[in-house]
Amino acid sequence: MFNRREFLAYGAIAASSVLTGVSGDVPDCDGVPCVDYHVHVGNELSIDQAVEISLRRGIKFGLVQHAGIPGQGYAISDDAGLHAWVRSLEGKPVFKGIEAESVNWVSAFSKSTIAQLDYVQADALGMPDRLGKSMQIWKPDFRPANPQEFMDRYVDFQVQRIVTEPIDIFVVPAFLPESLLRDYDRLWTPKRMRTVIEAAVKANVALEIDCRFRVPHLRFLEMAKAAGTKFAFGSNYQTLPEIGDISYCVEMYKRIGLQRSQFFRPNGAGKRL
């Protein structure tokens, strides 16, 4: 595991890498891809601040904003907003992305506009209850009445998003609500892990190694590697100084012996639209 000193030293090594804005360019840092695809900008972090941190640490960023249908409070909710987001990143040494919210997000955008992005990512943290309302499972007070039933529906929802939506990266896979963490290994059974992994392989969707929540665990990653999954790094932080902290990602990359050929490289989102 990288401690803070080792992480900063890693960033110093990475600073010698050339961070260009060319789609698909992923810098190499001592044999490890040096990129963080999960950097949110907004009230806590401006684009210029993100670029400065990226250049200083030598870690190329993929910048994202939440995107979905109008009326839900998302930063981007129509083609005009998405065009503006893309324009704001033009010429900057970053990847252009969005975090797609809810399963109906595609209806808010045209295919040609989505295709201007480098990638689209999505998660299952807003999985709906039986009435269709988001359960917001990331909140500390979320407690499912029946953990096993919740897990079955949770896995089904992950598979639904992976195989039916035009996404490139599925983020925070194998996340669990705080109330279920003590039973993590019991709830994430081999069958459930395999179901998500096989869906990702079939749909050619990369699975994120997420630094904020430190997921997936080693067991899941080893199974995913053996199945031929692609992987992506994500710090998933929105505050300083954690922005760009991919230490857990690097640790797992090395522990399971990943190769660069198994790492996600953007080549334009919306290919499956």
| Spatial contact of 194 and 223, defined as CB atoms under 8 Å apart | yes
Q: What is the pLDDT of residue 11?
A: 45
Q: What is the 3-state secondary structure (H, E, C) of 189-239?
A: CHHHHHHHHHHHHHHCCEEEEECCCCECCHHHHHHHHHHCCCEEEECCECC
Q: What is the pLDDT of residue 12?
A: 41
Residue 268 dihedral angles phi and psi, to the nearest 5°: 105, 125
Quote the tokens at residue 182: 């003590």
Taking residues 112-133, what's their average pLDDT?
A: 94
Count CA atoms within 13 Å of residue 210 on its CB side: 24
How many angstroms separate the CA atoms of 89 and 78, rounded?
Answer: 17
How many angstroms separate the CA atoms of 253 and 244, rounded?
Answer: 16
Tell me the domain boundaries of the chain.
4-12+31-262
CB within 8 A of 191, min separation 6: which ones? none
CATH architecture of 4-12+31-262: Alpha-Beta Barrel (3.20)
Quote the tokens at residue 76: 């981007």
* DSSP class of 29: E
Taking residues 172-182, what's their average pLDDT?
A: 96
198-242 tens-digit pLDDT: 999 999 999 999 999 999 999 999 999 999 999 999 999 877 778
Return the closest-CA partner of residue 35 out of 99, 118, 120, 95: 95
2-30 tens-digit pLDDT: 344 433 334 443 444 445 444 457 888 88
Instruction: Give the Cβ contact number of residue 195 at 10 Å.
Output: 15
Quote the tokens at residue 140: 């500390």
Taking residues 140-157, what's their average pLDDT?
A: 96
